[in-house]
Structure 1
């Protein structure tokens, strides 16, 4: 399952708690028209088939394709080459069976 870092949780909470947004709003991660590119949007509620993740007051809605792709990933924040805040997807650390 997708994991969120503390900074990602705070970023999602900040984005979805702006004036006029419903209390249950969330960040929706989805694919459009079968594209392989993930897209982000603020949504008032999840779509019917979305997987809903909640963490410390933040909500993330994942469509089926995004949920499958992000199943073993971590959502974090970072800066793009222009210095703008962005979300970053990274692989989860693999546990060593011998540890």
Structure 2
């Protein structure tokens, strides 16, 4: 199961609050495309999970929804945040013992 770091949970909560989402709103992660290197994932703030989504509730109550296909790729990962290229924060995923990696960064060999 995907683990949501405390920093990612706080970011999700701040984003949903800024969007004035109700208590059912959260961050949805989905597969945008597949190729020989793996899946390209996308994120969006949504009002509620889609039917079939895996719902993850962080220890602080942030909601993350995983499209079923995305859940397969993220089962042993951590959702985190890090400093973005443009000065803001961006979501990143990593293995439980790895450094965070952007959704659009290729894996190192």
Structure showing the higher strand proportion among its residues: 2
Task: State how 1:18-97 maps to structure 2 within 5 Å.
Answer: 18-32=18-32, 36-55=39-58, 56-93=60-97
Give the superposition deviation at 1:19: 4.9
The CA RMSD measured in Å over matched residues stands at 1.9
TM norm structure 2: 0.77
Q: 5+ residue gaps in structure 2?
A: 99-109
Q: Quote the Cα distance in structure 1 between the aligned partners of 2:33 and 2:93.
A: 21
Please, what TM-score do these two structures have when normalized by structure 1?
Answer: 0.84
Distance 2:92 2:20 in 1: 27
> Taking structure 1 as reference, are residues 83 and 20 closer, same or farther at Cα in structure 2, changes over 3 Å only?
closer
Structure 1: gaps of 5 or more residues: 95-99
